[in-house]
Structures are given as structure tokens and as C-alpha cells.
Amino acid sequence: MDTGTLTDRERAILHAVAAGRAELLVSCAPDLRIDGGWCDHTAVTRLVLDGWIRPVRPAAAGELVPAQLTDAAAGALGGRCRRSA
């Protein structure tokens, strides 16, 4: 994972996920809500497909669940984001 390829928007999304403020709508085209508002779909899709964020637990398609950083993302960010529990 290369943090140098992240946009400012993607970094902001990752910080919100790490702070426990995000919910992931599980589907083949995932969506993410932060503080109740929907995020940039393109950025979220990239972050999910590239392995930066995931649901906190397995979920059925269409289910809205809390989001978290993946272990690889937390390592790549090197403590610049606090990972949610």
C-alpha cells in the first residue's frame, strides 16, 4: 500500500474511519456514510477494493455496518490514523 497515491479526500475518509465515524454499505459497489452523510462513491470504491477499509464484521449485501481500517492500511499509515476498536 502506497500512501503517496492517496488523495486528500481519501486521507480524510481514512481518518474518519479510524475515528469510528463511518458506516459501510456492503455491496459489489460499496458506499460509505460518515456522520450520516454519504461519501464520494469513487473514493470509497477505490479504498475498499484496494484494501484500505472493510466492514467490522461479515455482512450481507445491502447491510450497513461500521467500517474499520484493514490491518495493512493501519500499518501503511504508520500511526497517522488512530484505528478504531
Give 13-46 pLDDT, tens digit per residue.
Answer: 999 999 999 999 999 889 999 999 999 999 999 9
- Mean of the per-residue pLDDT values for the chain? 88
Prediction pTM value = 0.84
pLDDT given for residue 1 in this prediction: 60
Q: Does residue 18 contact residue 61 with C-beta atoms inside 8 Å?
A: no
The pLDDT value recorded for residue 68 is: 96
Question: Is the pLDDT confidence value at 85 over 50?
Answer: no
pLDDT of residue 84: 46
Coil vs helix vs strand at 39: coil
